[in-house]
Amino acid sequence: MTDLGRGATALLVVAALVAACTASGGSTEPPTGVCVKTDASNTVTLTANNLQFSTACIEAIVGKPIVIHFANQEAVPHDLAVYKDNTKQQPLGKTDVITGPNASATLTIPPQLPGRLYFECTIHTSMNGSLVVRGDAPAP
């Protein structure tokens, strides 16, 4: 293989790694229609089973507190933490660690402006997703 061929191959590998990290890290907004939507009171249920969340995307309404009923359906301990983004520098809320089966906790996040938040199990960080807040920002 020529140096040019090796360089092109290396560039493709780097691009694939960046794409994979971006997809799993919650840094790209999922397309409309794949998110589980909150109900009219901005409440949703999220479950953990087989080391996975029941969804990787939750869609909430702007300007209302977001209530997540979190249920652990397996004997492995889990928690739920929500952050402003996947850097995890600005936490918005976190449940206690719960061990199932059939254990649950409720997390209430203060009203948010439109945008994309990040959630994860801090014990199993591969369990993560986006919390997309949609709608018009409330008037000041």
Domain layout of the chain by residue ranges? 30-134
At 26, is the secondary structure helix, strand, or coil? coil
Strand positions, DSSP E, the chain: 36-37, 43-49, 52-53, 57-61, 66-72, 77-78, 81-83, 91-94, 98-99, 103-109, 115-120, 128-134
64-95 per-position pLDDT tens digit: 999 999 999 999 999 999 999 999 999 999 99
The domain covering 30-134 belongs, at the CATH homologous superfamily level, to: Cupredoxins -  blue copper proteins (2.60.40.420)
96-117 per-position pLDDT tens digit: 999 989 999 999 999 999 999 9
pLDDT in the model for residue 1: 55
At 59, is the secondary structure helix, strand, or coil? strand
pLDDT in the model for residue 34: 83
pTM: 0.76
